[in-house]
Chain A
Amino acid sequence: MDQTSFTYPVLSALTFWPLLAALLLAPVKSEINVRRLTLAASLVEVLLAAPLVAFESRAGYQFLEMVPWAPAWKLTYAMGVDGISILMVWLSILTLPLCVLCSWTYIGRRVKEFHVCLLIMTTACVGVFSALDLVLFYVFWEALLIPMYLMIAIWGGDQRRYASVKFFLYTLFGSTLLLVAIVALRVAGGTFLIPELSGMTFPFKFQYWIFLAFFLAFAIKVPMFPFHTWLPAAHVQAPSAGSVILAAVLLKMGTYGFLRFSLPLAPEASAHFAPMMIAVSVASILYGGAVALGQNDIKKLIAYSSVAHMGFVTLGIFLFSPEGVSGAIFQMLNHGIITGAMFMLIGAVYERSHSREIVKNLGLGKYLPHFMFFWGLFGLASFGFPGTNGFVGEFMVILAAFNESVKLGLLVIPGALLAAAYILKVTLKMAWGQPASPEGKNWRDLKKKEWAYLAAPAALVVYLGLAPTGLLALIGPSVDGTIAMVKNEAPRSRVVAATSLSGRPTGLIVEEDLTAGTPGLPVPAPAAGRLVQAPAGGQAAGDAGPAPTDGQAGTAVETGAAPTDGPTGTEVE
């Protein structure tokens, strides 16, 4: 990536500007100024992100930044985004101003501390999605934990203590395993750089354990059934902005982890565990939907719907097909937009009726028609109404499931039905439920600020629902690269990326003949990634062992140094 074409290191600026802004908040005294300043800072953040528009639709990392950090430990300050992470970076950045706006009246005490938390969280979110060094990634990953914990514990509801501790323990447990995996990878691979590690082939046994460690860390974060119990508690207790960040960004870190680490670093183990992952995903979809249907608390209902939605994401990822993985990434973005917006709406309701119980909010549609319009729109998108972005993501994942096997597809369909059922249930009760009791509730329709923070996601819902192709083209090459790695076809894109980083080609890739796959149903879309099954136990790969790649990590990026080793990209030794 040609770094010189940008006058400033975009990703670092995006990461650390909120932190700087948090420091700048320190001397500010009045609450309203804190809010205004944070809003201004968040808008500056969006402006700073403008160069990201130049992201090109190709494989490999862009906007790379490489600075030696602690050469003795082979630590590098490495930042970069590919088609998968750029969406998440955008999501993190755009969430911030919305969070500030939706907390404007919601948060009434310790305002400055709250906004500092918000800003630090943005730093951590952007950092997590742009870090290309495992240690750097881990630092940001952990950095997110504290402000989120504080947000629930200080500004949360009545049971905030229980919820925050539960959240903390669950995620901390996952993080510990993540750390173990990172250290193990350093020992086996000799580097912390993700692009370099992605190009290596580890013994199957090693992959097996690495995958399991990653799995627990990420599955808790996603959260996948049965590791989801912290989520409803955290969501219900968290303030609106906390729930928004939790839903829009935090949960994505889990699925992002699967895409960035599990699949490329442990491809054979990923293939090995894919049936289990698919089963757990389907269980998440059905369980989350069924439990959501039984909820009386609006926020809890949406929290459980997140479990189901994220089940679609993990399902798509572990089907290893272009539609599946693209659909999963698209669904990650959708879920961020839709569920984030729904949590903001729930916050708006809570500010009016001081309750999140459905029975306390019956029939408010008559008094808040504009609110109902937005709720209806996001609700439709949430259950995959055609013409909204929710449909596109869900359709692609279901399509991939049917491509895998008709039975699997038919198994997922009830999940789509459940989604319609619980959303329609709560929507109809809020719109027309009887008896509507407006007494004692400040049921006034949306204010200008609320319009401001709802209009943007609403526009995205429709736009992405009707014209998703541009975005899908953006993520396409990265998706193909990731799939290629799991399929054990040479990870062409990553090899290029890795070599351009380290300056020399990475290790050996031993490959067996893997053409014995079940073609299944004809794949309609341009047939990237044929349906090839990975070997059951990659012993052959294990013999070769991890390649010694003590490349000079941390040296300058040599653009154009990528070796053009054959169009097939398969190195058979």
Chain B
Amino acid sequence: MSVIESCNVLWPLLVTLLAPFGILLAGSRQNVREGVSLAAGALTAALVLSFAPAVLGGHIYRYELFHILPGVTVAFAVDGLGFIFAFIAPFLWVFATSYNIGYMRSLKEHAQTRYYFCFAIAIFGAVGVALAANVFTLYLFYEIISVFTYPLVAHHQDEEGFYGAKKYLVYLMGTSKLFLLPAMVMTYVLAGTLEFPLGDIQNGIFSADVIAAHPNLVRLTYVLFIAGLAKAALMPFHNWLPSAMVAPTPVSALLHAVAVVKAGVFSVSRIILSGFGTETMTSLGLSLPTAYLAAFTIVVASLIALTKDDIKARLAYSTVSQLSYVVIGVALAAPAAVQGGLLHIGHHAFSKITLFFGAGAIYVASHLKSIKMMNGLGRKMPWTFGAFGLASLSMIGMPPVCGFVSKWYLVNGAVDQGQMVLLIALLCSTLLNAGYFVPIFYRAFFLPPDPGSRVEEVREAPLTMVVPLVFTSFVSVALGLYPELFHAFIKAFGHF
């Protein structure tokens, strides 16, 4: 384990920062504009990938860019945890852009330059969150994501769009100002620094003396953090996510299944593991309440998902539920559980983006949103629904798709900790997931089309949409078969 000062860590950020301006310059020249997004995504993913050998070798690249106050800096570092998220976001951006091309052009959406611009900045924010080496940097990029995804959610600029976007902003900005800001200030007041102790997940920012002297203030800080990171959609601050579904589907796919919500659970993981540390979590009794809250969110969100007929709403609640898998794992602080939770950041990303891509492809091909109307659609869109089915299996947690692997670790962790209630919650969730995903698949392939529906005329969506979603579903399977792809980085991060 060694920390290496290296400005290399800035390159992915620089590329994702310049990309939006390239998009602005390209303006309405569509192919150039989307070309910039594709190239920037690929380049960023490649740059992040170039850190892999060092990260696996136990090294951490770190670089301090701005010194603002003593102990408050803008600094970046890439460790195993950060690597996974910093890689996933731009990597999936490439596929989301390809998908965007099909979606936005097919539906002839307006203000596409603004759309791609904000999309790119959101990725910049996600990469920044992933590489943040301290709480301040994390907060900075977390806020950048909040502000610049607003135009994406409000994209349609109709009443529904503005309402959803307002709710989105009120939830995210409100919680971050009301809870996250004081949490950060209190961390600084208590610990005198905001730097994450890199490479150590046992002890966080707070020294043993501080914890002994002010245990309740540390607890309060923790509660403020968890409440402030509303992007993780832990109940009761989950409601923005279904509201954000008014956005165009690629936004829901990349941002509200991957970048934004993953920035939320990533931040929660970062704060729990690097900010507080597993030992502090247990010694202050923070571990179990968080895990129970997450378990509650998992079950309740799944129950709500059962009641939703709109496919995007159902996926949204499924996301709320699945995000808490990450939280439950990290909060339990047992090695197996932590690994399961962190694996799920990556695994859920690939599977859920497939599902949203599928929902969008269905909408573009058939203009259908209601699940009840999708009878027989699968035979018209076999690739889309096939991929959708694979991704559903991942949500349910069936082998060999990747969702199984993370759930396996989570269940092991719950058993290790002797938490039968949590175990039951996880198993319940499996059943509930099956309850709301299997019917979609069943209707699409096994029920005949309703008389009078337009299903007969439906054809697959454009190739730029179908190829990405099929690819991401294959990745989901590949990750199920070779979980080491992400697991190696998690082991490097936590020394498991």
| Distance between B150 CB and nearest chain A CB, rounded to angstroms | 8
A9 at the interface (CB under 8 A from B): no
A413 at the interface (CB under 8 A from B): yes
**Stretch from A350-358, A466-474, A488-496, A544-552 that touches the partner:** A466-474
**Stretch from A70-78, A153-161, A276-284, A520-528 that touches the partner:** A520-528
Interface string of B199-238 (1 = CB under 8 A from A): 0000000000010001001001000000000000000000
- Complex contacts, A529 vs chain B, CB 8 Å: none
Q: A56 to B162: give the CA distance in the assembly, Å.
A: 52
| Distance between A308 CB and nearest chain B CB, rounded to angstroms | 13
A514 at the interface (CB under 8 A from B): no
A395 at the interface (CB under 8 A from B): yes
Interface string of B64-88 (1 = CB under 8 A from A): 0011111110100000000000000
Q: A465 to B181: give the CA distance in the assembly, Å.
A: 16
B192 at the interface (CB under 8 A from A): yes
Query: Which of chain B's residues 30-85 have a Cβ closer than 8 Å to chain A?
Result: 66-72, 74
Query: Which of chain A's residues 410-441 have a Cβ closer than 8 Å to chain B?
Result: 410, 413-414, 416-417, 420-421, 424, 428, 432, 434
Q: A144 to B68: give the CA distance in the assembly, Å.
A: 36
Which of B70, B136, B150, B174 is within 8 Å of A526, CB to CB?
A: B70
B contact patch SS: helix
- Complex contacts, A521 vs chain B, CB 8 Å: 189-190, 214, 217
Which of B66, B188, B193, B220 is within 8 Å of A467, CB to CB?
A: B66
Q: A63 to B426: give the CA distance in the assembly, Å.
A: 72
Contact residue range for chain B?
35 or more
Which of A380, A387, A392, A522 is within 8 Å of B190, CB to CB?
A: A522
- Complex contacts, B494 vs chain A, CB 8 Å: none
A402 at the interface (CB under 8 A from B): yes
A398 at the interface (CB under 8 A from B): yes
A409 in contact with B178 (CB, 8 Å): no
- Complex contacts, B185 vs chain A, CB 8 Å: 395, 398-399, 402, 409
Who on chain B is nearest to A520 by CB?
Answer: B189
A522 in contact with B192 (CB, 8 Å): yes
Q: A43 to B146: give the CA distance in the assembly, Å.
A: 40
B101 at the interface (CB under 8 A from A): no
A116 at the interface (CB under 8 A from B): no
Which of A387, A392, A406, A468 is within 8 Å of B217, CB to CB?
A: A406
- Complex contacts, B210 vs chain A, CB 8 Å: 522
B182 at the interface (CB under 8 A from A): yes
A563 at the interface (CB under 8 A from B): no
B154 at the interface (CB under 8 A from A): yes
Q: A386-B143, A522-B190, A524-B71 are in contact. Are A466 and B177 (CB under 8 A)?
A: no
Interface size on A (CB < 8 Å)?
35
A386 in contact with B190 (CB, 8 Å): no
Which of A420, A432, A465 is within 8 Å of B177, CB to CB?
A: A420
Query: Which of chain B's residues 140-173 have a Cβ closer than 8 Å to chain A?
Result: 140, 143, 147, 150-151, 154, 157, 162, 169, 173
B169 in contact with A468 (CB, 8 Å): no
| Distance between B15 CB and nearest chain A CB, rounded to angstroms | 19
B169 in contact with A398 (CB, 8 Å): no
Who on chain B is nearest to A468 by CB?
Answer: B68
Query: Which of chain B's residues 397-454 have a Cβ closer than 8 Å to chain A?
Result: none
| Distance between B208 CB and nearest chain A CB, rounded to angstroms | 14
| Distance between B134 CB and nearest chain A CB, rounded to angstroms | 12
Q: A525 to B189: give the CA distance in the assembly, Å.
A: 9
B70 in contact with A386 (CB, 8 Å): no
Which of B136, B154, B188 is within 8 Å of A386, CB to CB?
A: B136
B177 in contact with A424 (CB, 8 Å): no
A contact patch SS: helix
A135 at the interface (CB under 8 A from B): no
Who on chain A is nearest to B71 by CB?
Answer: A524
B182 in contact with A398 (CB, 8 Å): yes
Q: A413 to B228: give the CA distance in the assembly, Å.
A: 13
- Complex contacts, A392 vs chain B, CB 8 Å: 68-69
- Complex contacts, A500 vs chain B, CB 8 Å: none
B177 in contact with A525 (CB, 8 Å): no
Q: A416-B177, A424-B169 are in contact. Are A466 and B189 (CB under 8 A)?
A: no
A466 in contact with B72 (CB, 8 Å): no
B191 in contact with A524 (CB, 8 Å): yes
A396 at the interface (CB under 8 A from B): yes
B119 at the interface (CB under 8 A from A): no
Query: Which of chain B's residues 474-489 have a Cβ closer than 8 Å to chain A?
Result: none
B157 in contact with A396 (CB, 8 Å): no
Who on chain B is nearest to A433 by CB?
Answer: B162
B189 in contact with A403 (CB, 8 Å): yes
- Complex contacts, A465 vs chain B, CB 8 Å: 68
B182 in contact with A469 (CB, 8 Å): no
A434 in contact with B157 (CB, 8 Å): yes
A385 at the interface (CB under 8 A from B): yes
Q: A148 to B412: give the CA distance in the assembly, Å.
A: 73
A413 in contact with B66 (CB, 8 Å): no
Query: Which of chain B's residues 261-302 have a Cβ closer than 8 Å to chain A?
Result: none
Which of B67, B150, B162, B189 is within 8 Å of A399, CB to CB?
A: B189
A402 in contact with B186 (CB, 8 Å): yes
| Distance between A159 CB and nearest chain B CB, rounded to angstroms | 33
A410 in contact with B70 (CB, 8 Å): no
Who on chain A is nearest to B221 by CB?
Answer: A406
- Complex contacts, A410 vs chain B, CB 8 Å: 182
B95 at the interface (CB under 8 A from A): no
A466 in contact with B68 (CB, 8 Å): yes
- Complex contacts, A406 vs chain B, CB 8 Å: 186, 217, 220
Q: A250 to B425: give the CA distance in the assembly, Å.
A: 62
Q: A413 to B224: give the CA distance in the assembly, Å.
A: 12
Who on chain B is nearest to A472 by CB?
Answer: B69
Q: A416-B181, A420-B177 are in contact. Are A468 and B157 (CB under 8 A)?
A: no
Residue with the highest number of chain B CB atoms closer than 10 Å, among A406, A434, A526? A406
| Distance between B466 CB and nearest chain A CB, rounded to angstroms | 33
B154 in contact with A525 (CB, 8 Å): no
Q: A409 to B186: give the CA distance in the assembly, Å.
A: 9
Who on chain A is nearest to B174 by CB?
Answer: A417
- Complex contacts, A434 vs chain B, CB 8 Å: 157, 162
A466 in contact with B181 (CB, 8 Å): no
- Point out residues on A near B: beta carbons under 8 Å: 380, 385-387, 392, 395-396, 398-399, 402-403, 406, 409-410, 413-414, 416-417, 420-421, 424, 428, 432, 434, 465-469, 472, 521-522, 524-526
User: Can you spell out 21 A-B residue pairs with CB atoms less than 8 angstroms apart?
Assistant: A385-B143, A385-B147, A386-B140, A387-B140, A395-B72, A399-B185, A399-B189, A406-B220, A409-B185, A417-B178, A420-B177, A424-B173, A466-B68, A469-B68, A469-B69, A521-B217, A524-B70, A524-B71, A524-B191, A524-B192, A525-B71
- The 4 closest A-B CB pairs, nearest first, are A524-B192, A386-B140, A417-B177, A466-B66
